[in-house]
Structure 1
């Protein structure tokens, strides 16, 4: 134990005598460990942020989209067709489905006075709002009679309201979409960006009949997409199976044939998001790992220089009775101490930078105990691995040859 403590004292005194060299050695490890801590925390924060946005869509949400299929004897692909009648059939017969809403949309210009805004124009039914967890902050929604009579009313998002009306109350005012005047009857509560990056507050919603009659004429009953909500999160998979079976029957798609639609759940989006996050995190950690390896090589090179400069000192110690093991332990401890100091400084710097970036990005980023533990262990490991060669070279010096070195 006394020998080990003596080796530690010698190592620390050697580091203290060469502060600049020690600082350069520490710097390489510091950068690598900082990168590891930041990458791990930011990847977790980004994944949690996207996950919360997906959950904000609704954990029991299902998207039913038309799919292009190859018809027998046809040269090209034919796009599948979804209708409002499909939605009504799903509501009647799929017992695990709580609500269904059709969706038609396009990009268009909205005008109020001398102001205008390019935004998403969409037609749907009132079922859309509970399905997507949209709430009206000001005013009210349209009614079923508005849908039947194709009334020229609309509900707008917060972004559209700010562009057209500033701080004024939009409810009751009339905007123009194309040539048709629409009365604003409500403003949605802010939702922010979706996981796909689009602004969910930058839209104008109206009864689907009004949209079809005055904004974008389409064939009767056609829908770009159907949205549905299962009766609970636990019945989502069952609802998906029921919708698939029902639409295959309605669209006369036999066994073994590709359907002209697809039904996706939030769980599938989350799995895809987690897979993408995992790949990105692995790539970023690999880059951070390269930084640590470069830092380790720096430790080895500077320790080799230290051995060369202290050859005569090593020869004196060996000639007065120091064993090879003592020299080996001394230089190994020097390398480990330098690596650990770099690792601890890297953890502090990485944690501070992570918190600052998390606040700037609006993410909940906290350095994980696992990442800090791995960074600490990696620092010690680098000190041992990359410090062994210089330590071994120092221990294997011939005392007589070492004493002759000037």
Structure 2
């Protein structure tokens, strides 16, 4: 009997028992769909994180207060950066393009009875280009605002809508704590970055933020939350980071442990990619267990099938079928169940990824490698778990099989 006849006979047998075949394939379908779906979600998460980090701006270094060890502790690091550090970086590091020191906080902002919780950002004019923001109407913070400690604010698009609705906010005044701020600009929508809604930001001059809202808390100058540094070219990022670190060590008179941390986008990306990669691997490994369970289900059903088809096996052997013929038929049946289940599972998994992409911020990440691996593994599982039942069937003595029937 040739191979095509084996396939035809195996297919006819499976079609004759539709319900049993469908339930047998269910484990493989769920396993394939889970593996492809989880890997797709993981890749989508990695792409999402990449976009979020890139939204900070091109070729940006972040100078944070506190040592690298302090950054990983679940406490607030000491505030060791001052506005003069940002000025020194801008003046003394040649590879730096622009420097944007920031003071951040959160306060309730109100306008004619409407209140909204604003994410305050004490900023300089350079913040606009370093962090990749755009002004939709009006203007941003100016150098003159910094010199005069002007009480002005540029509102994010969402907080402007919450406070003013359809009313034009330019020239209007909002209340913040015990001061009044004049709205001079409205920003273009930017969306969320790593969970922070940038459209709820309210930008005020960094000097006004320090003198009127948070107060001066350091004898060394105006403390800042962090400093964003734009570098001229990607190739100059390592040199700029090295120069900034040396400059701050001299300014802070450091002889032992740094009281600051300089992070690049690449370092932040690598750290987040490791986290998302580990989660993807964990999800895929968990989903792969379904494939193994599906394989056991195939072996179990095939063993039951051997018992039920004892008379058929005995009859076929009696009329000349060899052990190889019986072995091939049962193996092909197992492989067909796994392959068809794998294809259906692949379709379900890919469809699920597209649905997730439509309903969440994650992009649909279809991995050809994951699809090929899942289908290959499911076919291999069918072959592996189908061998034992097939050998059991091939070893049946035809006379004993006919008598037991």
Q: Could you say which residue in structure 1 is the equivalent of 2:243?
A: 242
Q: Could you say which residue in structure 1 is the equivalent of 2:72?
A: none
Q: Could you say which residue in structure 1 is the equivalent of 2:91?
A: 92
The alignment's TM-score, normalised by the length of structure 1, stands at: 0.94
The answer as to whether partners of 1:69 and 1:80 remain within 8 angstroms in 2 is: no
The answer as to whether partners of 1:190 and 1:201 remain within 8 angstroms in 2 is: yes
Aligned structure 1 segments of 4 or more residues deviating by more than 3 angstroms: none
Q: Could you say which residue in structure 2 is the equivalent of 1:212?
A: 210
The answer as to whether partners of 1:69 and 1:78 remain within 8 angstroms in 2 is: no
Query: Cα offset for 1:213?
Result: 2.0
Long gaps (5+) in structure 1: 71-76
Secondary structure of the equivalent of 1:79? Answer: coil
Deviation track 1:222-254 (CA, whole Å, cap 9, x = no partner) reads: 212111111122211111111001001111112
**1:51 and 1:281 mapped to 2: Cα distance?**
15
Which of 190, 194, 197 aligns to 1:199? It is 197
Question: What pairs with 1:316-335 in structure 2 (closer than 5 Å)?
Answer: 316-335=315-334
The answer as to whether partners of 1:68 and 1:80 remain within 8 angstroms in 2 is: no
Query: Cα offset for 1:276?
Result: 0.9
- Structure 1 176/278 Cα, relative in aligned 2: closer, same or farther at 3 Å? same
Query: Cα offset for 1:113?
Result: 0.3
The answer as to whether partners of 1:111 and 1:164 remain within 8 angstroms in 2 is: yes
Q: Could you say which residue in structure 2 is the equivalent of 1:338?
A: 337
Q: Could you say which residue in structure 2 is the equivalent of 1:156?
A: 155
Long gaps (5+) in structure 2: 70-75
Question: What pairs with 1:321-400 in structure 2 (closer than 5 Å)?
Answer: 321-400=320-399
The alignment's TM-score, normalised by the length of structure 2, stands at: 0.94
Larger deviation, residues 56-65 vs 125-134: 56-65
**2:118 and 2:132 mapped to 1: Cα distance?**
20
The answer as to whether partners of 1:69 and 1:79 remain within 8 angstroms in 2 is: no
| 1:177 and 2:168 matched | no
**1:293 and 1:405 mapped to 2: Cα distance?**
33
Q: Could you say which residue in structure 2 is the equivalent of 1:134?
A: 133
**1:126 and 1:402 mapped to 2: Cα distance?**
89
- Structure 1 189/86 Cα, relative in aligned 2: closer, same or farther at 3 Å? same
**1:203 and 1:141 mapped to 2: Cα distance?**
13
The answer as to whether partners of 2:61 and 2:230 remain within 8 angstroms in 1 is: yes
- Structure 1 17/240 Cα, relative in aligned 2: closer, same or farther at 3 Å? same
The answer as to whether partners of 1:58 and 1:266 remain within 8 angstroms in 2 is: no
The answer as to whether partners of 2:65 and 2:77 remain within 8 angstroms in 1 is: no
The answer as to whether partners of 1:64 and 1:263 remain within 8 angstroms in 2 is: yes
The answer as to whether partners of 1:340 and 1:380 remain within 8 angstroms in 2 is: yes
**1:80 and 1:281 mapped to 2: Cα distance?**
36
Query: Cα offset for 1:366?
Result: 4.2
Deviation track 1:332-353 (CA, whole Å, cap 9, x = no partner) reads: 0000011111111111111112
